[in-house]
Structure 1
Amino acid sequence: MKIYDLIVVGGGPAGIFASIYAAKKNMSVAIIEKKNNIGKKILVAGSGKCNITHEGEINYFLNRYGDHGKFLKTALYNYKPKDLVDFIESKGLKMQVLESGKIFPETMKSTDVLNLLIKELKKLKVDIFTNSKVESAKKEDEVFKVKTDSEIFSGKNLLISTGGKSYPATGSEGDGYRLSQMFGHSIEAPKPALTTVYVHDYLYADLSGISFKNVKIELYRDGKKLKEHHGDVLLTHTNLSGPGIIDFSRYFSKGDTLYINFIGKESDVISEELIESSEKNGKQSIKKFLSGYNVPERFLKKIFKILDIKEDIKLGELSKSDRILLINRLSRHEFVISRLGNFDIAMATAGGISLKEVNQKTMESKLVKGLYFAGELLDIDGDTGGFNIQAACSTGVLVAKSIKTN
């Protein structure tokens, strides 16, 4: 029976890049993938355009993974965004940086990225086994035994890189958690991340498409403030979305309260400005006064309607109670979370393999020698913009470079 130097379970970006760089070290490598082809996650990245990474220094990246960015320090310094871009371009596919800082192939086609990766794997003679679901894995006499629904593979080292639970259609259904637990690893409860948020009594279905730039979002739980974030917020037909909500969602739970400042100034500042304007020009309408702030007119009209305040009412006639209600709606609008978007629409998974049990300098298990983890299976999730694929590729390459060959 053939004994591979490395068995890779999961053919996503982490598994692919680990396989490529391991094979470059003349290691024999097998990728075991349960779907009919590898790279399904790459195909859906950037809505099929493959936002593979982001520009910026490593310190900028380390701040884009919630509370766990420091764990990726070795991996990201070892395989930088530039290294990833250079690798792809060396295979003949030019990359481009868009205004947002996101990096895509010039063709804007995920298939072009995946095809060159598959070509490289074949060139390096990596064995790829598709339509193979792993049922169990164990280590016997210093050799890993990986049992699929059709055969048993043997390897000196094992990488589990099956992804989290987001986009289950791509194969990420939490299989890696089960396999990792077979080796004694503990799992931080997986939940959707990079997802939209549903709130109780949502009143803005008719304002779908209206967005707010770089607003302040505060997260409260049981009356206590947990975190604060700034980002763009989008109103949809059914929920709150936009990068500000999506990137912040890793911290949300059902029943939490969000306070969003849609107007860009604190309530006491707006109140002072409103009172001052009222004293100078009490005949000015409240609508005219608020038009001086960067708030969409349709949103203002909706707020007036909800609060039953006439938009043509003069500042001098606005009651104190209505003034307080209006300012609070604009500067500290309360939303109570009813649920998060599920794994079918979440772009990443929060939770996963406990980082306490993984050596961040090698991605090797602290419990089982020769067992490695990479990618979204780990308890790490990045912001939107290519940060998750970069983390997957960097951790995958670190695995390959960390394995000692005889």
Structure 2
Amino acid sequence: MNKYIKKASVLAIALGATASLAACGNSKSGSDSSKKTITISVDKGYKDYINEVKGNFEKKNNVKVVVKTKDALATLDALKLDGPAGKAADVMMAPFDRVGVLGKQGQLADVKLVSGRYDSRDKKLVTLNGKQYGEPAAIETLVMYYNKNLIKTAPKTFKDLEALSKDSKYAYANDKTKNVGFLCQWTNFYNAYGLIKGYGGYIFGDSNTNPKKLGLNNSGAVEGLTYITDWFKNVWPKGMQSKTSNENFITDQFTSGKTAAIIDGPWMAATYKKDKVNYGVATIPTLDNGKKYQAFGGGKAWVVSKYTKNKAVCQKFIDYLTNDKNQEKFYKDVQEVPANQNARNYAIKNGTELSKAVIKQFAYADPMPNIPEMAEVWTGAENLVINAASGKKTPKQAADAAVKQISQSIEQKYKD
């Protein structure tokens, strides 16, 4: 798996779960041996939650729910072989960017969404060619963290961030000509895309459904990339141009009290809490052009294996897991923002600063493309920012090179 997909999916799912339902026997009343058995396979972070909510479903539907634990992505990856062999889980939890891909490959059954639980943005994340291949369970997107010991309030605009970068208080210890007041791992396309999108760039045409029309090298995308490049060339230490080690550098600078503000995902909160950072969380500041930072809108959905012999029971179970009550409990138990709109409102009223920031930022997020061709984007855009930041290419040249690689890969692998 590409490292950017891995970050967007694996880190986001680290506290999450994968579910599976394997059915056997006939549906009859009576002893446990006569009940249908469904097996749900989840990551450790969801095991207690599933065990606590499954009872009512079992009683009302005369079904026995067996809970097993298995790595989420491993379950999805094994579906193609395990399904035909009768070993696959029946219900799983999949990152949104995998839902459409698996659906198109014929690995997932289409499902029906309960009316009133989701808005059009939520539905889009699990829809491909007019069919839904999962029920949204959790949402996530990038947010801004700031150190309350260094700044009293969260920066509201990128002009505020630029002001931090001129404050000698945040001069980099090993090179006083550089500044670490604000940091973001923009060499990771997952993080950089929100700014590029805010300046008018995009991935695919027709609302990210047309892979033949690419927008990562249009004038807006180049303008955004030029802005990003300025930070690397004129503000940040050279180490920020790294593909991977800059992630640890950013975390170290923030947790050690040297950086005032960063952009990162909700999965990082546990690290900051463990390191006892007095941090606040807010939406990402407004860009210099007055637009919003449109980071990827992602998360996870419950999905049903195409190979299941009990699709109706699976549908009932994911309907049950995503009802208002269970989604509220989901939030309280695992501290992930629920996709269900009513439960999401509960999180706004009763939740943490982090969950409120995620929900507010998600309203501006660009839904993660869920078509198979997105895999080529992660690879093609891997060096997009690095090539421009290092000076090897101009922002326009870097953008053109990335789009050329993405376009060629799509043409080779997805011929009609």
Q: TM-score, normalization: structure 1?
A: 0.25
Q: Indicate the structure with greater strand content.
A: 1
